[in-house]
Amino acid sequence: MRKKFFGVIFLIFTFLFINLSAQIEQQTKSSSNIEVETMKMGTLPVVAKVGKRNITYQDLFNRLWKTNGYQVLNQMVYEILIEEEAKNLNIKVDQKEMNERLEDFKKQFRDEQAYNLWLTQNSITEEDLKKQIEFHVLQEKLIIKAKKISVSEKEIKDFFESNKENLAVPEQIKCRHILVKTKEQADDILLSLRAGADFSVIAKAKSEDIATKEKGGDLGYITKGILLPELEEIVFKLKVGEITEPIKTNLGYHILKVEDKKGKIEAKFDKQIKEKISKFLFQQKISSQLPSYIEELKNKTEIIVY
């Protein structure tokens, strides 16, 4: 739960920035391609033709501007304000910081495949992501320096005392899972398992759960709140090595096997937890200071919108 608690907070802060930046990056790339074509042709390009009617670059630009052009423009202004002020204060992001943040971000995903899927779904490359993280870190360092943000030992301790339960590592079980459509299929599989068949082999051969089938039904270590309620209620009561009866849900019939159990681990006020709390509190303070700080930068900078 400790990892999950801070992981969710990290994703909230990071995803908000990265998802918006991804949209802007995609639009910028598209606009750049059109501008190149304009230069080549020397005239206003036709970007599409439907029957006898043309859609020009201007038509497309007008529609995009009305849709979210002002939002994109504001974001671009915002990025320049941050970058220029950081340059004025000689604030930079080194490669070590970049690599650490990227690795921290990747830890939020189950595995490399899940991370790559996220990149694909957001239409960005890892290089795009690195640029966005670099800006995010630059922004943090700038606000911390400009606003003299700090986190005291007392603040860290108070947060720990108020959030002990959330910071604890709850009970976990390691289990495997098989999903089939009918009760008859589930009953046949259960007979085979009780006769000594290997659960992982059966899962690979017969399970219809695409997410775990190739891994032999392995769900890894999970906590309460992950499984469907009707599965969780039963499987967390099992002993190591025990297998459930077929359990019916709207997905079909499930059979689960518990392979290991880990009891709840209470949170300790050690170096690791102090660092995590400190980072979290820094993020809170940065987020609260950011809007007013951007207004300060706007007020001291000449910004002309045509």
Residue 305 lies in a domain: no
Query: How many domains does the chain contain in total?
Result: 2
Express as a percent the part of the chain with pLDDT over 90.
72
> Residue 50 pLDDT > 70, yes or no?
yes
Q: What pLDDT does 45 receive? A: 86
123 contacts 269 by C-beta, under 8 angstroms: no
Which range of 1-10, 65-74, 275-284 scores highest in mean pLDDT? It is: 275-284
Tokens matching residue 284: 């809170």
**Burial class of 145 by CB neighbour count within 10 A (0 to 12, 13 to 18, 19+):** middle
Which of 106, 98, 99, 100 is closest to 7 using CA atoms? 106
d(CA 51, CA 210): 43
Q: What is the pLDDT, as a whole number, of residue 111?
A: 87
Residues 219 and 144 placed together within one structural domain of the fold: no
Q: Are residues 52 and 135 in the same domain?
A: yes
In the predicted structure, residue 85 carries a pLDDT above the cut 80: yes
Matching residue, tokens 């459509």: 181
Kindly state whether residues 209 and 99 are assigned to the same domain.
no
Is 57 inside a domain boundary? yes
Q: How far apart are CA 119 and CA 40, in angstroms?
A: 32
Higher pLDDT, 268 or 110: 268
- Whether 135 has a pLDDT exceeding 70, the answer reads yes
- pLDDT for 27 equals 45
- pLDDT tens digits, 210-263: 999 999 999 999 999 999 999 999 999 999 999 999 999 999 999 999 999 999
Same domain, 53 and 183: no
What does the pLDDT read at residue 43?
57
Please determine, for residue 294, whether its predicted confidence score (pLDDT) is greater than 50. yes
Mean pLDDT of the chain: 87
| Distance (Å, whole) CA 203 – CA 255 | 10
Please state, for a pLDDT cut of 70, what percent of the chain lies above it.
86
At a CB cut-off of 8 Å and minimum separation 6, what does 283 contact? Answer: 9, 13
Same domain membership, residue 19 and residue 105: yes
pLDDT for position 119: 93
33-47 pLDDT tens trace: 434 343 344 456 898
The CATH number of the domain where 108 resides is what?
A: 1.10.4030
> Hey, what are 13's tokens?
């802060």
Q: How many CB atoms lie within 10 A of CB 298?
A: 13
Q: What is the pLDDT of residue 70?
A: 87
* Sheet with 247-249: strands ordered across: 218-222, 172-180, 252-262, 247-249
pLDDT of residue 24: 42
pLDDT tens-digit series, residues 13-32: 454 444 444 444 444 444 44
pLDDT in tens, 157-177: 999 999 998 999 999 999 999
Q: Tell me: do 216 and 67 sit in the same domain.
A: no
pLDDT score for 6:
52
* Residue 232 structural domain: 171-262
Residue 154's H or E segment, with its range, is helix 153-162
Instruction: Note whether residue 78 is domain-resident.
Output: yes
Q: Is residue 200 in some structural domain?
A: yes
**Is the distance from CB of 179 to CB of 213 less than 8 angstroms?**
no
- β-pairing, 252-262 vs 247-249, is antiparallel
137 within 8 A of 93, measured Cβ to Cβ: yes
Q: Which DSSP state fits 253?
A: E
pLDDT in the model for residue 20: 44
| 288 found inside a domain | yes
Rounded to 5°, the CA angle 149-153-157 comes to: 120
pLDDT at 269 over 60: yes
Amino acid making up residue 34: I
Supply 90's token pair. Answer: 């000689």
Residue 166 placed within a domain: no
pTM of the model: 0.62
Contact 55, 47 (CB under 8 A): yes
Residue 190 DSSP class: H
Rounded (5°) CA angle 2-22-114 = 45
CATH number at residue 226: 3.10.50.40
